[in-house]
Amino acid sequence: MSVHRQAKRISVPQLMAYKGERKIAALTSYSAPFARLLDEALDMILIGDSTAMVAYGLPDTLSFTVEQMAAHAAAVVRSTEHACIIADMPFGSYQQSPQQAFASAAHILAASGADGVKLEGGVTMAETTRFLVERGIPVLAHVGLMPQYVNTMGGFKAQGMTDESAERILQDAIAHQHAGAFGVVLEGVAEALGRRITETLDIPTIGIGASPACDGQILVTEDILGLSGDRIPKFARQFADIGSQIRLAVEQYANEVRDGEFPRLENCFGVKK
Ligand code: KIV
């Protein structure tokens, strides 16, 4: 009799229980090969709408669609079995009404099998968080620097630098907690604010350019692996330089091709002449 070990994915309640126990390690992934490599070491993988900028070379995240998200999220879910998988809600797919948000989130989850969604927004979006959570959709809120607000913020700028805006961001996070969010991403906020929000909330905070006091960290995978060229945010430490290795490997491949060093069919498939 063969014994199959049932792979067990980290659930949203498990992620929540890590608060105060251990830090949550999270990265983005947009594709099957990366997700497969990241899965075992991580607690959470986010299919961020940063896919638009990182994978499609777009200047911002605004044109990314629900269908694109569903396809990328499905690829990530298919190739993982351990990390909790969260998919971003694309711009324009949830801001109009809680009902619109539910339809978009339900489509992304049904098409991909992801465990929950992330949405950007302050106090005004908390009603949408509540609507989704009450209907069975786990929500990770995203406050502080919100890339989908690039046009109202006038660029990708650190937030919460005045007492007034720091207080507003704290209230944004509290509102999402009260609405049932399972966690809050804090992006681009000062260290003291990240610490204050983390100490105030009962749910985990996941920082990106925030504070080491946060309950976890998420970064864009390409930024820490040397795959983002010179567009690496200051807070993203580079853990490897895969970019240089790819360049060298491709150069070697191209040279071999030009030298006529192709593998022969009979060596590959055991084809007899
Ligand atoms: O879109 C994204 O990748 C994100 C994170 C990096 C938090 O929102």
**Ligand 1 lined by 185 (C-beta under 6 Å):** yes
Q: How far is the CA of 146 from the centre of ligand 1 (A)?
A: 9
Whether pLDDT at 34 is above 80:
yes
Q: How far is the CA of 120 from the centre of ligand 1 (A)?
A: 10
Domain boundaries in the chain? 12-240, 242-273
Q: Could you tell me if 181 and 203 are in contact, meaning their C-beta atoms sit under 8 angstroms apart?
A: yes
Do the strands 183-187 and 139-144 form a parallel or antiparallel pair, or are they unpaired? parallel
Whether pLDDT at 271 is above 80:
no
pLDDT digit string (tens) for 197-239? 999 999 999 999 999 999 999 999 999 999 998 888 888 999 9
21: annotated active-site residue: no
Record: fold of 12-240: TIM Barrel (3.20.20)
Q: How far is the CA of 47 from the centre of ligand 1 (A)?
A: 8
pLDDT digit string (tens) for 241-257? 999 999 999 999 999 99
**Ligand 1 lined by 220 (C-beta under 6 Å):** yes
Strands of the chain (E only): list them. 24-28, 44-47, 84-88, 116-120, 139-144, 183-187, 205-208, 216-219
Q: Which positions ≥6 away from 48 have C-beta within 8 Å?
A: 28, 30, 88, 118, 220
Whether pLDDT at 13 is above 70:
yes
**Ligand 1 lined by 50 (C-beta under 6 Å):** yes
Whether pLDDT at 1 is above 90:
no
Q: Which pTM does this prediction carry? A: 0.94
Burial class (CB in 10 A: 0-12, 13-18, 19+), 148: buried
Averaged pLDDT, 171-198 = 98
Nearest CA to ligand 1 atom 1: 48
User: What pLDDT shows up at residue 263?
Assistant: 77
Closest to 96 (Cα-Cα) out of 66, 128, 69: 128
Percent of the chain with pLDDT over 70: 96
Which atom of ligand 1 is closest in space to residue 220's alpha carbon?
Answer: 6
pLDDT digit string (tens) for 51-108? 999 999 999 999 999 999 999 999 999 999 999 999 999 999 999 999 999 999 999 9
Beta bridge partners of residue 117, listed in sequence order: 87, 139
Averaged pLDDT of the chain:
94
Percent of the chain with pLDDT over 90: 89
